Amino acid sequence: MSITKAAPPGPGPSDTEVRGDEANGGATGERQGWQFSSPLVLTMLLILVVALQGPIRRAVSEPVMQSWMTVFVAVVVQALPFLVLGVLLSAMLAVFVPPSFFVRALPSRPALAVPVAGMAGAVLPGCECASVPVAGALVRRGVAPAAALAFLLSAPAINPIVLTATAIAFPGRPEMVVARFVASLLVACVMGWLWQRLGRTDWLRPPAHPSDEGLGKGAAFWNSVRHDVMHAGGFLVVGAMAAATLKSVVPASWLGLAADNPVVSVLALAVLAVLLSICSEADAFVAASLTQFSLTARLAFLVVGPMIDLKLFAMQTATFGRGFALRFAPATFVMAIASAVLVGAVLL
């Protein structure tokens, strides 16, 4: 699609020929005759955008477009460093840690490996963007998917940085930190066990990873970094666009209507957490400011957000395949709400 768009506006008689050929090429996946290599397309795209920068700047000078772009750029600039961190970790796991390490480190019975992996999530200092590539690398290294998924869900929610931020955002309410920890770990373990009982390996179809065979360690390492950044980064952009649209187009006053009914308020904040796609290190502050909602509803916001949101869904699709994400995301969403309500009823 981008290839066709990037075709020069009118380079002469060959124009139509190129477009027609490109359409055929896209359909069959096999390109012949006129070749459009991606460096050429990229070069033309760069030249085109630089040449048209005046009209582009004018087009985005409306306040709503400006605020959309600011939020869009902000989500990308904020999430990319954590994504890079996760990608580096995952590349190190993939290249320098032998598979036998995980066999020894995790209990051989998956039922036990799930909670151990869930607790291990506490040591990954970062937000959800870092945990997706790491969990992907764990699966490729032969870790039981159930355990890797427990790690994927728990890591962004129960690490020390996130819990500290929660304590700061809710001063004088340490039970909020405890509730977040307990509820998140509970969801992670339950989802791990669920996968172990019901999950089928053919749902888990990670897109082909470039094979490292025959490559040196350095080449394999950078190959993995490049592939993961390009892949997950593209999906991160999709998520950032969705979050920016919500933030700058949907009026915040809609939320006020939902706050009065206890059931609706929990659902509303859970959906909001999915749509906003805020980094798990910052969501506690947003939750703290939603003062019109009950503490249980805000707990649901804090439990759902790090486990499933638009950005994460896109990145999970990239790492584990669409069939997986379509089943895993709704199940996680329901489990997270149930766990938050349960823990909220006991602790808050």
Partner 1 sequence: MNRQAQAVVLFLVGGAMTHAGSTDLYLRYVKAGLQPMVVGAGVVLMTAALATAWYEWKHSKSASGKEVHAEGHGTGTGAGHGIGTGTGTDVHDQEVHVHREPRVSWLLVLPLFALILVAPPALGSYSALRTGTALQAPLAYPPLPSGDPVRLSLVDYAGRAAYDHGRSLGGRRIAITGFVALDGKGTPYLVRMALNCCAADAQPVKVGLTGRIPPVLQPDTWLELTGTYTGRRTKDPVNKGIIPFFDITEAKPVPVPRDPYDESWNN
Coil, strand or helix at 224: helix
Near partner 1 in 227-256, by CB under 8 A: 229-231, 233-235, 237-238, 240-241, 243-244, 247-248, 251-253, 255-256
**CA 53 to CA 46: how far, in whole Å?**
10
Among residues 4, 24, 53, 164, the one that binds partner 1 under rule CB under 8 A: 53
**Residues comprising the chain, all counted:** 348
Residues in CB range of 210: below 8 A, 6 or more apart: 223, 224, 227
Using CB under 8 A as the criterion, what x/- string covers residues 192-221 for binding partner 1?
Answer: ---------------xxxxx------xx--
* 291 backbone dihedrals φ, ψ, rounded to 5°: -65, -20
Using CB under 8 A as the criterion, what x/- string covers residues 94-133 for binding partner 1?
Answer: ----------------------------------------
> In terms of CB distance, is 101 or 254 closer to partner 1?
254
Among residues 116, 286, 338, 348, the one that binds partner 1 under rule CB under 8 A: 286
> In terms of CB distance, is 116 or 209 closer to partner 1?
209
Q: Contact, 310 vs 333, CB < 8 A?
A: no
Among residues 33, 98, 108, 201, the one that binds partner 1 under rule CB under 8 A: 33
> In terms of CB distance, is 148 or 169 closer to partner 1?
169
> In terms of CB distance, is 74 or 342 closer to partner 1?
74
Among residues 14, 24, 100, 292, the one that binds partner 1 under rule CB under 8 A: 292
Residue 193: Cβ within 10 Å count = 17
CA distance to 110, 120, 152, 232, 319, per residue, from 132 (Å):
20, 15, 6, 9, 7
Q: What percent of the chain is helix, strand and coil (3-state, nearest 5)?
A: 75, 0, 25
Position 56, amino acid:
I
184, containing H or E segment: helix 174-198
> In terms of CB distance, is 98 or 251 closer to partner 1?
251
**Nearest distance from residue 345's CB to partner 1, in Å?**
26
**Total residues interacting with partner 1, rule: CB under 8 A:** 87
Unique residue bearing structure tokens 């985005």: 60
Using CB under 8 A as the criterion, what x/- string covers residues 60-79 for binding partner 1?
Answer: x--xx-xx-xxxxxxxxxx-
> In terms of CB distance, is 108 or 211 closer to partner 1?
211
**Nearest distance from residue 186's CB to partner 1, in Å?**
26
> In terms of CB distance, is 70 or 100 closer to partner 1?
70
**Nearest distance from residue 296's CB to partner 1, in Å?**
19
Using the contact rule CB under 8 A, the part of the chain among 44-52, 103-111, 143-151, 173-181 near partner 1 is 44-52
Q: Contact, 102 vs 144, CB < 8 A?
A: no
Query: Half-sphere exposure of 316 toward its Cβ, with a 13 Å CA cutoff?
Result: 25
Q: Contact, 122 vs 156, CB < 8 A?
A: no
Determine, following the binding rule CB under 8 A, whether residue 285 of this chain makes contact with partner 1. yes
